[in-house]
Amino acid sequence: MNLQRCQYQAVGETVYAAELDDGLHVYVMPKPGYNKKYVTFATHYGSVDSHFKAPGDPAPVNVPDGIAHFLEHKMFEKEEGNVFDRFAALGAMSNAFTTYTSTSYLCSATENFPDCLDLLVDMVTRPYFTDESVAKEKGIIGQEIRMYEDSPRWRVRDNLLTALYQAHPVRINIAGTVESIQDITKELLYRCYRTFYRPENMNLFVTGEIEPGWAIDRVAARMPAQGGPRGDIERLFPDEPSTINRPTVDEAMAVAVPLVLVGFKDRDVGYDGPRLLDKIVYMDILLEVLLGRSSPIYDSLYQDGLIDERFAADYDGERDYGYVAIGGESRDPDLLRERLAAAFAEALDRGVDPEAFERVRRKLTGGFVAGFNSPEYAAHNFTLYRFRDVDIFDYLTALGRATPEGADERLRAIFDPSAMAASVIRPGGIPGRA
């Protein structure tokens, strides 16, 4: 095991990295003087990975939608009881979450950290599923799915992805559907676990007042022996047309004020690494320049009462998909959509203002550096970017090489009117304007 020390002077942080014999990458970012210690143990496995070919398997397999999220839930249940109770007895907080592309297990503690670290590694590396517990979990997750379906803020995002995408599984709720989870079995859970929870597909990140060599040795000693063939997992996706699925999804729900999300489908996909990082940086710059609180567009929409302070814009970009989502509550979602479309058309004609570009670049630099004061921010972003084949600390380098001309190119690539769709949640089923 070779322990590497990487010093990042721009943010005042040092990360120690080691690849264990079984392929697991362990990272430690010491934070002297911090009482809290925080650890994430994550696998590059999310809800979109429903069609795959594992190393050594003769043929690909399709699994039910929602199985990655289902598996996350089941990892907390062991033969001796629920692991949540054992973390609580140690005075620690534990949780987990599944995204479209990853599953992360986390623990935060100010005391008993060695025992907490052992428990987290044991929990993630020692699955225990029974037919009875799987059947019980279907009812629990079925209720969770219904809760999402009844949540306007969840529905408006899900409906936007349905509008933007025709075939890619990002259009399906991370938890799946009540119907799809009925096909999940103990055997399928073990198959997905054996495929995606292999050490070489995972990483573990620890931060706090911790001695790096101790933490890495402790994790290495706790990892169970691995069997089976190693190699790359072949993740299979349907061919996604470049066109959107439909321009609008309009739904009525019990809301006092309409919700609207305007989205743009990113057709420039199929890569990760530094090229993906550059795109993410440009998207961060563009969304702040065009829609940040100091932008003319935001001020105009706010002054006219079409948005409130919760108005937001974000970009979610991975190797095989990407999209922009813009919006929030609005008293007139149709007018907001029209005003946003007109604002983007004007931006395409005008291009990116170099002064605004530089101002936003400085703002993003400061926000990035400040973010590492938070152990949670450091752990989750480090992991997320590693699965994109990117070092999170290269974000500042990408910011430094970004140019207004590059932002103009990205503006035209992303905000194509033909790639635009909208999702609207209205109170009482009020029909949209023609």
Q: Which residues are catalytic?
A: 72
Q: Using alpha carbons, select from 423, 25, 11, 430 the residue that is nearest to residue 199.
A: 25
| Token pair 């970012």 in the structure block, residue | 29
CA distances from residue 135 to 47, 140, 153 in whole angstroms, order as listed: 20, 9, 29
Considering just the CA atoms, what is the radius of gyration of the chain in Å?
23
Q: Using alpha carbons, select from 411, 57, 408 the residue that is nearest to residue 228.
A: 57
Q: What is the DSSP letter of 309?
A: T
φ/ψ of residue 331, rounded to 5: -70, -20
For residue 13, with 0-12 CB atoms within 10 Å meaning exposed, 13-18 middle and 19 or more buried, which class applies? middle
Helices (H), 201-295: 212-222, 273-291
CA distances from residue 130 to 187, 191, 201, 340 in whole angstroms, order as listed: 9, 14, 25, 51
Strand order across the beta sheet in which 322-329 lies: 248-253, 420-427, 259-265, 322-329, 312-317
Instruction: Quote the tokens at residue 220.
Output: 């290495």
